[in-house]
Amino acid sequence: MITIHEVTELLREYDRARGYTDLLWKDLTPDEVTWRPHENSSAIGWHLGHQAHVAHFMVRNLTAAEPSPDPELDGLMDSANPEQFRGALPTIERLTAFRETVAERVHARLGAIADGRVGSPGQLTVVAQHLLVALINHEYQHDQWIGEVRSENLGHHLPPDPDTGRISRLDGYLVLNPLG
């Protein structure tokens, strides 16, 4: 049976994944964050917003309906919209605020589940565990592309992989093994 402790541990892994993402982009210039390698390619900034956008919609749709923290970004950060129709990226400050707000909401909602402050706490604990594994692996999925652009196109070094004992590489991507 999935325990509340596992959800709490996975929230720490989620923070670790987000921290790794920050290592990949926070030292870049705004021009580097918004630069696109070619016209059909997304900028690092889009991936940053998309990671948060997916986290918001997954938590919203699977655990608690709530409005978007920035509805104007919803269409822009949706990967179903082709690159050429997404529009201009927001400022770095707005992207950062969006990511931080979504992370706070993930913690608030999944923390409430871990604390049993929801209806059907057992069932939602199972949902929360799988949801967090998906969010973490989605964060790392986009980190791969961010890292490639960072190193191969922009000439910056890559930080070391997170060292948690639960992270490995599969097909070149960092992945969280949910079994530990």
Task: Sketch the domain layout of the chain as residue ranges.
Answer: 4-176
pLDDT of residue 81: 86
CA distances from 76 to 40, 73, 100, 145, 154 (A): 14, 5, 18, 18, 24
- 134-146 residue pLDDT tens: 999 999 999 999 9
SS (H, E, C) 18-49: HHHHHHHHCCCCHHHHHCCCCCCCCCHHHHHH
Q: Does domain 4-176 have CATH number 3.20.20.140?
A: no
12: confidence class by pLDDT, cuts 50, 70, 90: very high
pLDDT of residue 64: 87
- 72-105 residue pLDDT tens: 999 999 998 888 778 889 999 999 999 999 999 9
Q: Compute how many other C-beta atoms are within 10 angstroms of the C-beta atom of residue 40.
A: 9
- 13-67 residue pLDDT tens: 999 999 999 999 999 999 999 999 888 889 999 999 999 999 999 999 999 888 9
Strands 167-170, 173-176: pairing kind: antiparallel
pLDDT of residue 40: 82
pLDDT of residue 84: 77
4: confidence class by pLDDT, cuts 50, 70, 90: low
Q: Average pLDDT, stretch 154-172? A: 94
Mean pLDDT, the chain, rounded, equals 93
Tokens of 59: 């938590």
Distance separating alpha carbons of residues 44 and 41, to the nearest angstrom: 10
Question: Residue 143: which region, alpha, beta or left (left: phi > 0; alpha: psi -120 to 50)?
Answer: alpha
Please state which of the ranges 89-93, 122-126, 163-167 shows the lowest mean pLDDT.
Answer: 163-167
pLDDT of residue 2: 55
Place of tokens 């998906």: 134
